[in-house]
Amino acid sequence: QVYKLPAISLRLFNVYGPRSRTTGAYGAVFGVFLAQKLNGKPFTVVGDGTQTRDFTYVTDVAQAFIAGAESSVTGEAMNVGSGHHYSVNYLVELLGGDAIYIPKRPGEPDCTFAETTRIIKKLNWTPKVSFEEGVQTMLGCIENWRDAPVWDPTSIGQATSAWFKYLGRS
C-alpha cells in the first residue's frame, strides 16, 4: 500500500503433492504417512484422527498463483483450498494401512477449512483435483519417499517440541 504496488495475498491450506516435505514440526502428513507405508510401518496419527484438513493438491495451488498473476485484482487476501475438509482417519483409509494414535499436539487445530468464495469470484479459480484423485496420484509416486525419514511416536514427539517454541511455551 505504501508504494502502491499491485499485490494480492494467497493463503494456502494443507498443500500436498509429489514432493511433500516430511521433516520439521510442520512436516506434511502425506510425506510422513507415505514413508511409513513404504517401510511397512503403521501410520502414526497425532490425536484421534477425527481432526479434519482442507487438503489442496499442488497443481491447484499453482493454478491459483497463475490466476492471481494474470488478474488485475489487487489488495485482496484469498484462501486457496479445496473447499472441503477430510479427516486424517479418512486419509489413512484411502492410503490403506493400520494406524497407531498418539496424543494431540498443543495448538493442533481440530479443523482447517478454506472459505474459497472470494477466490472463486475474484479470480474465477476453482480446484480441479479431488482429494481421492490426489491420494491416488501420491500413491503412484510413493517411491519419492523411499529416502524420507520414517517417523514414529518418539520422533514425532521430538519434532513436536518445536511447536512449544512457536507457541511461546517452554
Secondary element (H or E) of residue 69 = helix 58-70
What distance in Å separates the CA atoms of residue 137 and residue 46, rounded to the nearest whole number?
Answer: 24
Asked if residue 2 belongs to a domain, the reply is no
DSSP 103: P
Asked if residue 4 belongs to a domain, the reply is no
Asked if residue 97 belongs to a domain, the reply is yes
**What count of residues does the chain have?**
170
Asked if residue 39 belongs to a domain, the reply is yes
What distance in Å separates the CA atoms of residue 58 and residue 110, rounded to the nearest whole number?
Answer: 23
Asked if residue 47 belongs to a domain, the reply is yes
pLDDT at 23: 63
Torsion sign across C-alpha atoms 90, 92, 97, 102: negative
Asked if residue 108 belongs to a domain, the reply is yes
Asked if residue 75 belongs to a domain, the reply is yes
Counting the structural domains of the chain, the total is 1
pLDDT at 27: 58
List the domain range (segments joined by +) for residue 117: 9-164
Q: Which of 80, 167, 84, 91 is nearest to 123 (CA)?
A: 80
pLDDT at 140: 95
pLDDT at 150: 76
The segments of the chain whose pLDDT lies below 70 read 22-27, 155-170
| CATH at residue 26 | 3.40.50.720
What distance in Å separates the CA atoms of residue 136 and residue 83, rounded to the nearest whole number?
Answer: 19
Cell 521433516, residue located: 23
Asked if residue 169 belongs to a domain, the reply is no
